[in-house]
Amino acid sequence: MDNNNPNYSIADGILAEKPKKQNPWRDRLSTIFLFIAAFLIAITLNTFVFQSYEVDGSSMEPTLQNSDRLLIYKFQRTASSITGKEYVPNRGDVIVFHKPNGTSDQLIKRVIGLPGDRVVVKNNEITVFNLENPEGFNPDDEPYGIDLPETSGNVDVTVPEGEIFVCGDNRIPGASLDSRSVLGNVPIDKIVGKLLLRYIPLGNYKVF
């Protein structure tokens, strides 16, 4: 037993470790560092991975309602910017994007036509023609389309490379600013991310 160890003392024959002196400044600096790290992580996630949005308007009814709170997944778009490889969303994805007119306004719509598709809106429905479907198909035949209203408009357009054709789910005349109207096709580089989940209202929580 080393009785000369300065970290220990003997009292009543019991070897006891001396209490170490606390450094209040070190504790304070650790707390500050944790707050800064948490803040930086939150900023990084919000900028590059996830972002919260609130729906403003009725253009995506009945799928989304005014004031719904959403979480948008941005990582695929971020990875595309880093790697230089173009990010093309899937048909049927609900995406958030910047308006092509150069303003900071953002819209949320559903992807209907991909690069190279011919999109025809006629007789209250959408038909998409491409190499895999030369006879055409209705993209709204997917489960999301069960409760959608008939699609208004009169469009016949081939989607160029680097762009997509989008529609709001509310297809009645004038209900949605989208590719059937003056908005036109949306450049892929304007995409912010795709809808991941609706978390408010809590009773209508849904993963997309």
Where are the chain's structural domains? 49-207
pLDDT band at 43, cuts 50/70/90?
low
Residue 26 has what pLDDT? 72
pLDDT at site 9: 42
Looking at per-residue confidence, does 125 or 30 come out higher?
125
- Which member of 30, 80, 109, 176 is catalytic? 109
- Per-residue model confidence (pLDDT) at position 15: 46
Q: Which of 59, 74, 176, 194 is catalytic?
A: 59
- The mean per-residue pLDDT over the stretch 15-39 comes to 66
Instruction: Round the average pLDDT of the chain to a whole number and report it.
Output: 86
Return the H-helix or E-strand segment holding 206: strand 206-207
- Residue 97: helix, strand or coil by DSSP? strand
Is 181 tagged catalytic? no
This model's pTM is above 0.85? no
Average pLDDT over residues 146-162: 96
Q: DSSP 3-state helix, strand, coil percentages of the chain (rounded to 5)?
A: 20, 30, 45
Q: Is 109 a catalytic residue?
A: yes
Question: Per CATH, which fold does 49-207 belong to?
Answer: Umud Fragment, subunit A (2.10.109)
